[in-house]
Structure 1
Amino acid sequence: MAKRSFGRSVAVTACWIWALYPYFVYIPGGFVWDTCLSALLVATLFLCALKLREKPGSLWSWLGFGLLGGFTVLTNASALTVCSVLAAWAIFPLWRISRTPQMWPTSVLLRDHWRWLSPALLVAAGLIITLLPWQFRNYRAFHALVPLRDNFWLEFWDGNDGDTTSWVDIDSHPTINPDEGALFAKLGEIPYMREKRRKALDFLALHPGLYLVQCVRRFLYVWTGYWNLDPSNLLDEFHGFANVYLTSSLTLAMLLGLWRSLRNSGSLLREASPASREAVLPYLLVLLIYPLIFYITHPTIRHRHVIDPEIVVLAALGLRSLFPASSSSKSPGVPPTATPS
């Protein structure tokens, strides 16, 4: 992924960061959830999007992208936004060609329109094929329409119930709090989630200002690891000063990589001026879109790990720009996007 976007030297640097960064050693052994698998699937989806953007390939490739995206979403529902954005980014050059005025016969123009529409439909078909059985299962189990998962309002309430001492009030979760667990068992899953929705919306109506402040704090927490200086948080290994240092350092290196690429002022990228900004765009889209759901609910370090591969690539780009190689070993950058014939 890094090699295709920015060259071998950035790829090697990214590998070393991934091998030595403490959290990337701890997280695989510290969580039993989908964390590492989701990161792998999103990175694979990202690489496929890079390849399809550069060379659209056969229609089967687009169907495969949709199937992979569906499996990724089944593994981690929050990855749906990433899948959609990457698919749109990969298809965009085909759409742009179809919108360019051409003095061609109508049959040729129709063929060009179909050239972008067929990949879009195949990606959508792959997603539907993969996700539809789970939707049938949900309807059969709950006798209600439940898109993917039904716990959004529970997670929203856990992060926005008025307790600001931590980034999430874990004690209000039914798997932790016996009273909440008993209420969950008494009401049933769907009525329980509806009750959480009611309480969350009531809180929003009464405290809109506090909610906006919390969203800003969650944004800062995702990218710095800092929440507050409360001793109960600092005792947690993920929320001490070491966490703030590690998370902030990686974020700063990532921002440097973004800045160097967008400004195109680093000597590492000087030979790839048309392509460097194009290469960084999918990374920027993922970084902007994926965390949105956690800004409005509640974030954790393991949630960010899903996009850590993309963060590490940009961090490696930033570090390489500080120590550029000699002109003979510079990475050539990314070739301009291939125009399909």
Structure 2
Amino acid sequence: MKHIALKITAFLFGIALWFYVISLKNFQLEIEAPIILSKLPETLAIASRPPQSMPITVEGRPFDLIRMRAQETKAASIIVDLHDIELGSHRVHIGSKNYSAPNFPNIHYVDSDERLSFIDLDIDTRIVRNVPIRSNVTFRPANGYIITSEPVLNPEGLNVSGARNALMRIIEVPTDSIRYDSVKAPGRYTVPLRFDQLPAYVAPNDSAIEITIDVQKVTNKVFKDVPVHLIGRYDKNEMSLLPSTVEVEITGGEKILDTLKADALDLFVEINRFTIEDVDSLPPTVRLMIDKSINTDLSIKGIQIKPDKVRLQRKIPQPTTETSTDSTQAPAKPTVFTMDDLEEEGK
């Protein structure tokens, strides 16, 4: 047992001695270090897409190198000072002056004769441009509801700062593709923006926008005895529409219909249409005299007229004779003519 204990002790002592000897020697290690571009003047911007990191070789004691390897890209970095750079294209060489590892003072950058390290930069004038935002958001109302207005983006454009040439290539900034189903009430939604297609070193002033949508419950409203006007050049004493009033049923958003009054309905028929279309009855044209801010294409779902058509009638007075002395004789009723009758009479 004593010999075994001595052997174990000697083995452990040998390992400790080996580690001690190894720790006195310097070793080299290749790591991937991030590139940090600093002190760029505010009036300038980077127009190219330089690499985000580069491989470098460092040298130090084994235990320090093991710790650095564990921290990976957080341990060391390459800092490029651009305070005196000018407009144009530049090739910046990387060396020990750019190396930074504040938590590892005993590890040093190794200049390599076999590998020439550099990065290429294009420097341009910095501008700020307002870029339109394109919505990729879809809203689907629930059954029995209707979207009464186009979605409103706030803001509609995004201020982007960067190199002039880079910003001129940006057409728009899209939102994330999102779909909202079964929407039952007006709401305001925060939607992220997508920047994966933007050039490098372009700085937007925000990362999300708000989209407002108006949703209302679908309802019906009936207006009775709405007059239908005959428009165009004609003798009002001879021609008129039959019937002269109709019933109008409108289907649309609840809030929109609550504010809609009968005097906002303008129904008319152009007299020339009877001749052009060669018919004696036509559906009236409906025009809603409401606020222009209301999108009737979205807020009004349907309009139904009863009866759906009106006829053109012509009143022809009955001739009077001097021999007629019966004062009690009933006046003659107006005669209703169709378009065929009118055309035949014209011949």
Return the TM-score normalized by structure 1: 0.19
Q: Larger relative contact order (C-alpha < 8 A, sep ≥ 6)?
A: 1
Structure of higher CA gyration radius: 2
* Structure (1 or 2) with the greater strand fraction: 2
Return the TM-score normalized by structure 2: 0.19
